[in-house]
Amino acid sequence: MHITLAAGRFVRMLLSALLLSLAVLAHAADAPTGIRLYVIDCGRIDASDMSLFDDSGALDGKPGTMSVPCFLIRHPKGILLWETGLGDAIADHPNGIDFAPGIHGSVRIRLVDQLKALGLKPSDIDYLAFSHWHIDHTGNANLFGNATWILQRRELAAATGLAPPPFESLAPVSAYKNAKMRLIDGDADVFGDGSVRLLSLPGHTPGHQALQLQLPHAGVVLLSGDLYHSREARRLRRVPRVNVDRAATLASMNRFEAIATRTHAKVVVQHDPRDIALLPHFPAYLH
């Protein structure tokens, strides 16, 4: 009798252990098994005079269009938003607004609506990072006060210092004061597994950086930030006029290209609409 009871208890223990492992497996199947990169339309810039973006003078008086993407990275350990675009408030102006003489910004579709299409609210974003704090990258930053802001100490110091770089208004980023912050000096590994890395590439601004992703199928992807503003700028190593340190920018280009060559990376020049057009159309993703 006692033996039968003990055997019964043992079978029940086995069964509950089996059910528990099945539950764990089912949960694991729900979570993304790899990393996904979504490209989000965060506006566009139309300039009647691109002279700000090339100090050689080659673009003086010439018109141009720049894409303004945001990128959402879904990693099993959390969600990172890279860049926040021109700002959803601009969508209220169907014809856009002028940022500077001859520099026109417009937002066709709001970032919050695109997050909603993925079933996300701004408060679901775990980590926020920017290539730099120019206003075409910080427009929606204050939506993400719940996220951990990963900031280059030098970028924060410059923007909050006595002589902030041009186009680095603090108003769109004021939520940093109350947000959880991870201050970094140089490169950083966002999730600790080498798959999502911030690359320190100063020059355009004091704390400018790019993002390096190691995707399961697509391989290494490098998101340029504003190291280059177009494919031609990359090919010709053109430094923009809006820039704080020319020598540092050229050194950053050298470093970026060495990494791109070594890793056989797919390089995305964020402000070049041709590069954005080659990426999966939202809500499709690269993985």
The contact pattern for Zn ion, residues 108-147, with x = CB under 5 A and - = no contact, is ----------------------------x-----------
Size of the site for Zn ion (CB under 5 A): 2
- DSSP lists the bridge partners of residue 184 as 152
Cβ–Cβ < 8 Å for 109, 281: no
Cβ–Cβ < 8 Å for 130, 175: no
Cβ–Cβ < 8 Å for 65, 48: no
Q: For residues 12 and 18, what is the distance between their CA atoms, to the nearest angstrom?
A: 10
124 vs 232, beta carbon nearer Zn ion: 232
Smallest gap from residue 82 Cβ to Zn ion (A): 13
Smallest gap from residue 131 Cβ to Zn ion (A): 7
For residue 274, the surrounding DSSP H or E stretch is helix 273-277
Cβ–Cβ < 8 Å for 225, 198: no
Smallest gap from residue 272 Cβ to Zn ion (A): 11
78 vs 164, beta carbon nearer Zn ion: 164
136 vs 155, beta carbon nearer Zn ion: 136
126 vs 136, beta carbon nearer Zn ion: 136
Sheet of 196-200: strand order equals: 188-189, 196-200, 209-215, 219-223, 266-268
**Residue 83 interacts with Zn ion (CB under 5 A): yes or no:** no
Smallest gap from residue 135 Cβ to Zn ion (A): 9
Smallest gap from residue 240 Cβ to Zn ion (A): 9
The stretch near Zn ion (CB under 5 A) out of 106-114, 174-182, 221-229, 261-269 is 221-229
The stretch near Zn ion (CB under 5 A) out of 168-176, 179-187, 189-197, 222-230 is 222-230
Cβ–Cβ < 8 Å for 92, 44: no
In 178-218, DSSP assigns E strands to 180-184, 188-189, 196-200, 209-215
Which listed residue (226, 256, 269, 275) binds Zn ion by CB under 5 A?
226
Q: Which residues bind Zn ion (CB under 5 A)?
A: 136, 226
